[in-house]
Structure 1
Amino acid sequence: MSDPASNRHLYWAVAAAACLAVAGGAAFYYATLKNAEAARGQTADRTVTITATACEPMELSVPGGRRSFEIINASDRPIEWEILDGVMVLAERENIAPGFRAGLTVQLQPGSYQMACGLLSNPRGTLTVTPSDEAAQAASEVTLRKFLGPLSEYRVYLVMQGNAALKSAQDLRAAIASGDVAAAQTAWAAARLPWRHIQPLAYRFSDLEGRIDARATYLAGREEDPAFTGYHRLEYGLFARNSTEDLLPVADQLVTDLEILKTRLREAPLDPQLLISLPVDTVDRIAQGQITEGENIYAGNDLADLQASVEGVAKLVGLLRAVVAPVDPPLDERIGARLAQVQADLDALKQGGGFPPYASVPADRRAALAADMTGLGAALGALPDVIGMN
């Protein structure tokens, strides 16, 4: 028979642990929201409500220039909202929890754009940006001469990492074809790293990104949805099901999509405004979404992915610091210090030279990482005014 006293002690230990978990989660979520609000600190020009099936309103019109939007999730699923120019994502906010709202600020030139409204299967809305003096002045302030070197160097980086992403996907396909689950799991983890290096720009190609990096949470049918493809579909099969069954066609499609992406990375137009916006958008997306809940929910290796993302951001930051350093040394130093703090946060999470499963990272450590990532985004957000762009 069990000891009643021991049972009571066990009961109170479990209860205390549960309370700590709830308190830690609440503190993390509160810290994340407060940091997001502090980073924005402004009134939105327009409000968009996302329901289960659409945006409300489905048609918006704003004058060109720097515009802010408030996105409210009135559905029962986490959602994302994007501004699209054809297949290119101009700006987006993801991982907005049901009943919550998020802000987004973006520089817009006159034109007609689409709005992605929650689930990928939902119809898209229309955003019309009208001409304005502010937009005309912003366009005239772009000084290409300052950015010729950084733009050329980033192009080389994209080509090299695009090649690496394709090669690693081919290795992953070979491992899946062999039926060796352990080898395929290792190849999958390795294949994620060059993808995360190029993701700041690759994320802008919405058609490819939706096939390459789709997550089940954003699909109506979740894991059973036919649109669940790419890295995370392979992750689900290899880690959740511990099998290579039915994965070869998915791996084939991933290789094909990365071949297309490699060409787009080589040919995509790069300009100063895009170069400045890429690290800000990436850092914000990581702080608001990936750190909060994690992304690789079946493999649990989010910290290695986050490290690769920071490396991709660091490449962009290094190029931009070369432009800003002669103009505003204090801002250059602040950006460097913020980036170093984010890297220090990741280094502190390592165990035995490697990263532990993401589920083992305490809520307060995630909150600290999200806060420091938000701080880096805020520092990077000062770049446009300093280096000649609105």
Structure 2
Amino acid sequence: MRAVRLSVVTAAATAAALTAVTGCADKSDAKGGDGGIVVTAKDDSCEVSKKEFPAGHVELAIENKGSKVTEVYLLFPDDRIVAERENIGPGTKQRLTAEVKAGTYEVACKPGMKGDGIRRQVTATGEGKVARRSPEMDAAVAAYRKYVQTQADETLPKAKVFADAVKAGDIEAAKKAYADSRIGWERTEPVAESFGDIDPKVDLREDGLEKDQKWTGWHTLEKALWQTKKVGPAEKALADTLIKDLTDWQKKVGTAEISPTSMANGAKELLDEVATGKVTGEEERYSHTDLVDFKANVEGAQKSHELLKPVASKNDPKLVAELDRQFAALNRLLDKYRKDTTSYEFTSYDKVGKAERKELSDAVNALAEPLSKLAAAVVK
């Protein structure tokens, strides 16, 4: 839904984001600790306490002293994402644990959650080796890599069904295939976003466009199918572009940088996606298929949690038990809007009332708070 998380957030989404971070903000002082970096984000600056730190596990202790909701990223030199934390409300603190090798990186603060951000170069020193992983960690990474590749492989044929319907001018068939074509993407979106350029081509909303940026991807076609109700040469060309970009994603997935901490942080990112796009109804504003995306985001986050359980349960069994409870509670709530437990047919989101949306938001917040602690639990 964003251009490397460069989306412009509307007032409603900002309010939802602030609600979400209230539940998961770190109440402790941002002191960084050994090997940690204090990041102070303001509306016009991004301050880091250290420009050098040992390679391995690093913790960013983030505080937003600005007036805008912000995001903080740790980036590779080519703008691929190592780790990120979104929706950090004014006056709140968060912690982000990442796994890095020796090399040069950038810390980017994005006040208002748009633009390229205010950047500071940092360096991880040493031999470039992170702490040796346990067999359980290696197994989790291998299984997650297979999961992500499978989701990409299964998405492409579903997307082709959707694109073929668009190119045939069959609006009803295209509408029917639309939400299903997005499920694998939504389950694994943080991995796609880590490449930087694919997500804005495929999943950007119109209000997230930067100046002179061409709008492509699913949501251009969503608007044509549900709002303008016209499919012409431009839309047919966009359908071909979508398949080209998704094919690029499918080929790149196997090269993604994946670690136990990136899996844990990605799970939290998926909950942020729910809080800022699905609960507000802004992600699928024309089709109102938000609950399909919502469920897929939750499934992707839960997959990471399940794979990391053998490690996290040794280090923080109370956290794992709480995550199990909150995932179960959120899934039970989602099932209220589902045709049956084997179906991806959900209630159209425009039929979900204000009180019900608040209930969904509260359940997301209840899960987001403990989920924000999973990365730290994995590396204890």
Scaled by the length of structure 1, the TM-score of the pair is 0.76
Choose 313-322 or 255-264, whichever is displaced more.
313-322
What amino acid maps onto 1:67 in structure 2? L
Partner of 1:106: 96
Scaled by the length of structure 2, the TM-score of the pair is 0.78
2:41 match: secondary structure: strand
Alignment deviations for residues 334-377 of structure 1 (CA, whole Å, 9 cap, x no partner)? 21111101101211234688422212322332233223223223
How far is the alpha carbon of 1:322 from its aligned partner? Answer: 3.2
Q: Of the candidates 299, 305, 311, which is equivalent to residue 293 of structure 2? A: 305
Give the direction of change, closer, same or farther, for the CA distance of 1:72–1:233 in structure 2 (3 Å limit): farther
Give the direction of change, closer, same or farther, for the CA distance of 1:332–1:71 in structure 2 (3 Å limit): closer
Q: Is 1:381 the counterpart of 2:372 in the alignment? A: yes
How far is the alpha carbon of 1:307 from its aligned partner? Answer: 1.0
Alignment deviations for residues 137-167 of structure 1 (CA, whole Å, 9 cap, x no partner)? x975452422122222212211211011111
Give the direction of change, closer, same or farther, for the CA distance of 1:215–1:119 in structure 2 (3 Å limit): farther
Partner of 2:322: 334
Q: Of the candidates 142, 145, 158, which is equivalent to residue 148 of structure 2? A: 158
Q: What percent identity do the matched residue pairs reach?
A: 24
Partners of 1:270 and 1:167 lie apart in 2 by: 25
Q: Is 1:36 the counterpart of 2:36 in the alignment? A: no
Partner of 1:319: 307
Partner of 2:267: 279
1:82 touches 1:116 (CA, 8 Å); kept in 2? Answer: yes
Structure 1 vs Structure 2 CA RMSD: 3.5
Partner of 1:13: none
Q: Is 1:254 the counterpart of 2:242 in the alignment? A: yes
Q: Of the candidates 119, 125, 145, which is equivalent to residue 126 of structure 1? A: 119
Choose 356-365 or 39-48, whichever is displaced more.
39-48
Give the direction of change, closer, same or farther, for the CA distance of 1:96–1:213 in structure 2 (3 Å limit): farther
Q: Of the candidates 338, 345, 362, which is equivalent to residue 353 of structure 2? A: 362
Give the direction of change, closer, same or farther, for the CA distance of 1:313–1:383 in structure 2 (3 Å limit): closer
Partners of 1:118 and 1:29 lie apart in 2 by: 12
Q: 1:109-258 alignment to 2 at 5 Å?
A: 109=100, 111-113=104-106, 115=108, 117=110, 122-130=115-123, 140-141=130-131, 143-220=133-210, 226-245=213-232, 246-258=234-246
1:61 touches 1:127 (CA, 8 Å); kept in 2? Answer: no
1:300 touches 1:359 (CA, 8 Å); kept in 2? Answer: yes
Q: Is 1:88 the counterpart of 2:80 in the alignment? A: yes
Alignment deviations for residues 168-200 of structure 1 (CA, whole Å, 9 cap, x no partner)? 121112111111111111121221112112213
Partner of 1:10: none
Give the direction of change, closer, same or farther, for the CA distance of 1:111–1:384 in structure 2 (3 Å limit): same
1:206 match: secondary structure: coil
Structure number with larger C-alpha Rg = 1
**Number of residue pairs the alignment of both structures matches:** 348
Q: 1:25-64 alignment to 2 at 5 Å?
A: 33=18, 36-40=21-25, 41-43=27-29, 45-50=38-43, 56-57=44-45, 62-63=50-51, 64=53
How far is the alpha carbon of 1:324 from its aligned partner? Answer: 2.9
Unaligned ranges ≥5, structure 1? 1-24, 51-55
More helix by share: 1
1:118 touches 1:218 (CA, 8 Å); kept in 2? Answer: no
Choose 78-87 or 303-312, whichever is displaced more.
78-87
Unaligned ranges ≥5, structure 2? 1-10, 31-37
